[in-house]
Amino acid sequence: MQSHSIYPSEFGVSTSGLLSLSNPRILVAAHRGAWQSAPENSITSLADAVALGADIVELDVRSTSDEVLVLLHDATLDRTTNGKGTLSQLRYSEVKGFKLRSRDGGDGKTSTFLKLPTLAGALEVARDQVVLNIDVKDPSLMNIVAQIVIAAGMADQVFIKAKIQSQSDISMVRSSPFFGRVAFVPIIRARSGFFAKDLQALEPLRSLMYEVEFTEVETLEEGGEELRRQHARLWVNTIDCSHSLDFNDHRALIDPDAVWGRLLQVGVGAIQTDHTAKLVEYLKFTGRRD
**Residues carrying an active site annotation:** 31, 73
Quote the CA–CA distance of 106 and 88 in Å, as a whole number: 20
Strands (E), the chain: 27-31, 56-63, 69-71, 99-101, 111-115, 131-136, 158-163, 183-190, 209-214, 233-237, 268-273
The burial of 168, by beta-carbon neighbours within 10 Å (0-12 exposed, 13-18 middle, 19 or more buried), is given as exposed
DSSP-based three-state secondary structure for 213: strand
Least Cα distance to 214 among 234, 185, 197 occurs for 234
Neighbours of 253 (CB within 10 A): 14
End-to-end C-alpha distance for the chain, whole angstroms: 23
CA count, 13 A, side-chain hemisphere, 42: 25
Buried b (16+ CB within 10 A) or exposed e, 20-42: beebebbbbbbbbbbbbbbbbbb
Least Cα distance to 20 among 227, 261, 290 occurs for 227
Q: Report CA 149 to chain centroid distance, whole Å.
A: 15
